[in-house]
Amino acid sequence: MLPIVQNGDKVLRKISKEVPISSITKPKIQKIIANMSTALDSQFDGVAIAAPQIGVSLRIFVVSGRIFDEDFISGKESNKINSHKKNHSKSMVYINPVLIKISKDKKLMTEGCLSVRPLYGKVRRATRAVIEAYDEHGNKFTKDATGLLAHIFQHETDHLDGILFIDKAKDLQEIFAS
């Protein structure tokens, strides 16, 4: 299994580099994307992962399709595990993502991070975010998100700038999965 880099490792604090567009479809970048997806799928509660979290300082993040699965959203721990096994929705890849618009409307939401186990805390973020990025085929796209996905966009783009949610969170506490 691919280890997920934990807080304290310098790679999490670096500003990640842009991926040259012409290299997106090359084996090197495709392999990184595949490794990120594998690492993400290995975590039953993972919703997204940024490249620095597998030790690669490049501007890429992957969002698990799991977040769109009804039984995952319902939030029960047992359901989360089930939805992981089914894994029906496709993951989404964001390369060189830029938040081109975020709402003034903000909301506190509890978040955690695969690299900051076992801490959870509340972070105030925009309720709506529009992102521009390239997909794994090198095609540029724009995605307008609200709620959880908007929150994820902000958490993940922070990763690419060396920022962790604990820098912004309130009421940090340790929660151990039983």
Task: Tell me which residues touch Zn ion (CB under 5 A).
Answer: 113
**Nearest to residue 126, comparing CAs of 107, 145, 100, 152?**
107
Residues 133-164 as b/e (b if ≥16 CB within 10 A, e otherwise) read: bbebeeeeeebebeebbbbbbbbbbbbbebbb
Of 2 and 23, which CB lies nearer to Zn ion in the complex structure?
2
Instruction: Give the CA distances from residue 85 to residues 57, 112, 143, in Å, rounded to whole numbers and listed in that order.
Output: 30, 21, 27
- 134 in helix, strand or coil? strand
Of 82 and 148, which CB lies nearer to Zn ion in the complex structure?
148
70 is catalytic: no
Q: State the catalytic residue, choosing from 18, 77, 132, 156.
A: 156
Distance CA 111, CA 18 (A): 26
Distance CA 38, CA 69 (A): 19
- Nearest-approach distance from CB 46 to Zn ion, in angstroms: 9
Residues with Cβ within 8 Å of 38's Cβ and at least 6 positions away in sequence, in order, are: 2
- Nearest-approach distance from CB 4 to Zn ion, in angstroms: 9
- Nearest-approach distance from CB 159 to Zn ion, in angstroms: 6
CA-based end-to-end distance of the chain: 21
- Nearest-approach distance from CB 26 to Zn ion, in angstroms: 26
Place of tokens 């095609």: 139
Residue with CB nearest Zn ion?
A: 113
Residues designated catalytic: 156
